[in-house]
Structure formats: C-alpha cells, structure tokens
A and B are shown apart, each in its own frame.
Chain A
C-alpha cells in the first residue's frame, strides 16, 4: 500500500484503530424527562473528563497543549449550547443524540462560514465536543488514544485536534490516515511532534485490525502490513540507523557550514507557513531559502489584504532575527489552485498562466504583495524572489513594478529597507541558458530543480508513468545547473538551490564542486547536509564534477557517484 508521505521517518509497531462512531438518526421520543436526564448526566460526565484531561495534560505536556481542553470545557458550559440541545429535546420530542448532532452542526457551520481562518478552525473544536457527547450518549467506550501502549501505529479516518492533543509522541511510532494531505491538521501535528506519517489511503481503517504488525515509511509513503521476518529485520535496521543518526546530528547544531577547504555555505529551510518556523529553527536553519508565499493565498477564501500579508512577513523576518529570508512572490497556477481566483482550465497548466505571468497581468494583486513585503523589510533581512522568469522582459517589468511600489510607499510616508536583495528562480530552461544576461540584473539566483527537470526533460512530474525520465541525474539538467552557477559567479552574484535536489545527499558533493553557495531544503535534512558538507573538500571534488558533466547518461553518472 502506498499513500502520501507527510512526515518523515520509519515507524514499526502494532496497529491501534481509532473507532468511528455510527451516524445517528432522528427518533421521536415518548419520555422527555428521561431524555433530558440522560443528556444532563452526559454533560456532567464529559465535563469531568475534560477537567481531568486538562489537569493530566497540563502536567505532562504543559499549559499550552492542555489549553485546548479548557476551551472545550467552555463550549460545553456555554448556556446557549446546552439550552439549545435541551430545547430540541423538549420542543421537538427529539432523541438526545440527534438533538446534539443538530446543535453541533449548526454551530460548526456558522464558524466554518466565517471569513477569518482562526474562527473557521474553531469549527473543529465544536465537532470534537460533539463526538465526546455522542460517544457517551451511545454508551460506546471509544478506545482511548491517550491510553495506547508503547510502540503503537495509530490508524484513523482522520484525527481531530483533541485526538492529536492526546497523542503521546513517546508511544506513537507512526500515524496513517484515510483523509488529509501535506497541509492537513494531522500532517502538521505529525511533523511538529516528529512522528512519521502517511496519509490519503482509501479505506485504511478496514484494511487493518487492532494489533496487526505494520511498517510505515514516512519517507516514501509505503505501508507494509504483516511484513515477513526479512523485511522486518531490514526496516528495524533502517530505524536503528535513523535513530542513531538523529542523535549524532544534534552535535551539528550551532556549528557553521563550511567545507574542509574553507568555503562558507548557507544551509537554509524551505517553509510554507509560520507554523514551519519552529521546526526550521530547531534544526538550526541559517535562514529561509524559500518561503512559499502562495500558501497564504491558498489557505484564504479571498485575496489576502496587504495588512494581513505584512503581518505574516514581519513575523517570519522577526523570528529569524538577522538571518536572511527569501520570500518567493506568489507561485499560483500549475498544480497549485486557488478557489477564489478564476483561472481558466488549461490543457497544460504547468506551461500556462501561472506565477509571475499572472502577477505581471494582475498588477494590483502583485503590488499588494510587494508593498506588504517592502513594509515588512525593516524587521529583518529580506530577499525577494520572482518565480517562473523565462525572459529578461519579464524580469525588467517585475523590477519596474517593484520600483513603483517603493515610490508609492514613499509618498505615503511608509518606511522600507534599502538593503533588499532581489533574485529570480532559475526553473525555466531559457532562464538557465540566458543566465549570463539575467545575472546582470539581480542580486541572486535560486535554482528550482523540480520545475527545471520537468521543463528541460519535457516530463510531466505528476505523471507516474514517466518517473524514469524525471530525474536529476539527466546530464543535461546538471549541465544547465553548472552553467547557471558559472554565469552567476562571473557577474559576482550568489546562487542557491531550493528544489528537492538541494537536499539530495548523493548530489550535494557535485553541487558543492560546481560552486553552489546556498542549499535550501526541508528542515529535517539540514543537519545531515551540514555534516556532509563539513566533511568535503571542494578542490578534491573537481575531478568527480568534471566526470559527471562529461557523462553521456544517467547510468554513467550514477556509477560515478556510486548510486545503485
């Protein structure tokens, strides 16, 4: 079985399936008093449970994580909430289960339809309370996530906030869910807690029963049910390596990244939201090499206003103090859709109306973002990067609009920093080929390998049938990268890389030899990469680099680099 890998690492353990409660149906009841008594008792019991959970979690996990149960308690004690349930029972002669469902749905819908993301999230809390009440009413003792044994793999349709708050990361070795993807609530929690996670597997709760043995590979999304002894041994070995490696890597925190022959390298993090900052800093990021600002647009229900964006950018810059932060202007289109922007359906969205192409057309949208960035720039070390540049014309126009924004802010007496570096992504082959000219116009390049491979090999990276063709080991791709770095250095600007190749341990030596200055990657691979770079001598790698650039195909390159 295979799903979406959302949180890295290997987990081996026994299955614990989170039970789902049955749907409730409306019944007409005879004895109203009985029904009222039933719900009153449940209110008291749930209240007790929540109080206990709060006290327990406060001791174990701290006030911050326990706070959610206090919030739930407050909802439960809300007179408006319990009265509505009581009234439904009394006036409609409705069974308590259904009365609860109606009120929960009503409040949850109300919150879900609100503009503010914060309030929309509260709908989850309300549903959570509803489930607690329902379980008690149905007298189903939901097996408790908080009481799982050591070495558990949690399998669920989905995990609610109070589910995840109850997870003990010491006992849960991995999470598998039917719903959710990389940006879902459960995925974010799994990442923060460092629990391996795989999501998006249909019918997963029916595939397993409690206590089945399972291997979860959060690195590639693979799930192995009841593995044979050989497979099990292999994964246990991998897990052991992973653990000792993690321990060893902690000693890399606080060190600088510098090759044996003395070249200082910057290892920075790819992030998509404010929530990712902690993980990046915990892994000692030397900056942010790619802040995917499009997520601000994707997580919204309307175009985010200047003020809202400003606050987000200011927060990132402040958190990273004086470390550099590269914010990429919005890269919408392609595989990233935004519901409220009316993009026409295209035959080839990756080749279509996206990123800077859209921004240069919808200038007001672009200006809103640039002004928010400019105003935030005084709070740290900002670098702005334009995506999908394919020609000088686009770059010049983008820079022109940027200057306009500065002038308009000046007229409004708003301040901005004069030290903002401006750069572009090199992800379109023509940009790589024209990098000698483009380098004269910017302060830096960042090579986006995911798209550069896709465009230069003419291979749709979403098409699984083409995965052999979609490879960074295509010598043509590596030559484009090398050429870009050489051209940039001739003009005295620095070059980074923010695609997934930057964290590829087999290619880091080659990139280093080519002269790459900054490597931006997922926070979890940063320390490993620092350790590798600190053990390499760039001078000595020149020979390997030359052989790689002279190779005829990917097989030859893999042989040179000793990759199976």
Chain B
C-alpha cells in the first residue's frame, strides 16, 4: 500500500481535509486512510479530521474499485501540494 507522510505545519485541518473530500466525491471507489491499523473513510470530512493528523504522521492509502489508480495519483498530488 502507498504510504504518505503529512508534512504540514498544522497537521491536517479543515481546509486540506475538505480539499481531499471534495476531490474524492467525484469517484465511486472506496478510499480509506489507515493509521496505526485503524481504517478511516477518506470521503468523510469528520473521519479525516477525527484522525487528528499532526505534522510528521504517516498514513497508508487503501483504494479499491474503479479508477483506483487515477484516484491514487490525484490524492498524491493533493498531498504533495499540501506538503509543499
């Protein structure tokens, strides 16, 4: 599974979380973020924010279903931009 590290000073707050959710809602596939063995629905803003991701945390991307590859690429782009 692809791993991503959060490198943003304030962790993953509402604005970045909403960017992710908005991007994912276009697709039908299931997307989960995995942190410390726990799965979180990435299409849920409350779930993502509820993960309380801080600067330096690492998560895994679990994407299944149609367009999985496209979604992964789009997600990585978003994270890159947020981390940049």
Contacts and interface: CB of A to CB of B under 8 A. Distances in A.
Interface string A104-119: 0001001100111011
9 contacts: A74-B21, A78-B44, A79-B44, A80-B47, A81-B44, A107-B46, A111-B50, A116-B52, A118-B13
A74 B18 contact: yes
Contacts of A122: 14, 49
A71 interface: yes
| Secondary structure of the A contact surface, majority rule | helix
A75 interface: yes
A74 B17 CA distance: 11
Contacts of B45: 74-75, 78
Contact of B52 (A74, A81, A115): A115
A122 B44 CA distance: 15
Contacts of A111: 49-50
A116 B21 CA distance: 21
Contact of B46 (A78, A114, A118): A78
Given A107-B50, A122-B49, A80 B44 contact: yes
A71 B54 CA distance: 21
Contacts of A110: 50
Contacts of A75: 45-46
A79 B18 CA distance: 13
Given A71-B14, A114-B52, 20 more contacts: A74-B18, A74-B45, A75-B45, A78-B21, A78-B45, A78-B47, A79-B41, A79-B43, A79-B44, A80-B43, A80-B47, A107-B46, A107-B50, A110-B50, A111-B49, A115-B52, A116-B11, A119-B52, A122-B14, A126-B46
Interface string A76-87: 001111000000
A82 to B, nearest CB: 10
Nearest to B55: A307
Interface in A93-112: 107, 110-111
Contacts of B10: 118
Please give me the 7 A-B residue pairs with the lowest Cβ-Cβ distance, nearest first.
A80-B44, A78-B44, A80-B47, A74-B45, A114-B52, A78-B45, A78-B46
Interface residues of B, number: 16
B55 to A, nearest CB: 10
Contacts of B18: 71, 74
Contact of B41 (A71, A80, A107, A115): A80
Contacts of B11: 116
A71 B46 CA distance: 11
Interface string B8-50: 0011011000100100000000000000000001011111011
A119 B53 CA distance: 11
A80 B47 CA distance: 7
Interface of B: 10-11, 13-14, 18, 21, 41, 43-47, 49-50, 52, 54
A86 to B, nearest CB: 14
A122 B46 CA distance: 10
Contacts of A118: 10, 13
Contacts of B52: 114-116, 119
B50 to A, nearest CB: 5
Interface in A114-131: 114-116, 118-119, 122, 126
Contacts of B21: 74, 78
A119 B50 CA distance: 8
A339 to B, nearest CB: 20
B39 to A, nearest CB: 12
A167 to B, nearest CB: 22
Nearest to A80: B44
A107 B45 CA distance: 11
A79 B32 CA distance: 13
Nearest to A307: B9
A119 B47 contact: no
A114 B54 CA distance: 12
A74 B22 CA distance: 9
B14 A80 contact: no
A75 B46 CA distance: 7
A81 B50 CA distance: 12
A115 B21 CA distance: 23
A114 B51 CA distance: 10
A122 B21 CA distance: 17
Of B14, B44, B46, most buried by chain A (CB within 10 Å of CB) is B46
Contacts of B46: 75, 78, 80-81, 107, 126
A107 B49 CA distance: 11
Of A74, A107, A111, most buried by chain B (CB within 10 Å of CB) is A74
Contacts of A80: 41, 43-44, 46-47
Contacts of A119: 49, 52
A81 B45 CA distance: 9
A284 B49 CA distance: 38
Contacts of B54: 116
Contacts of B47: 78, 80
Contacts of A114: 52
Of B10, B11, B44, B54, most buried by chain A (CB within 10 Å of CB) is B44
Contacts of A74: 18, 21, 45
A118 B14 CA distance: 9
A118 B52 CA distance: 10
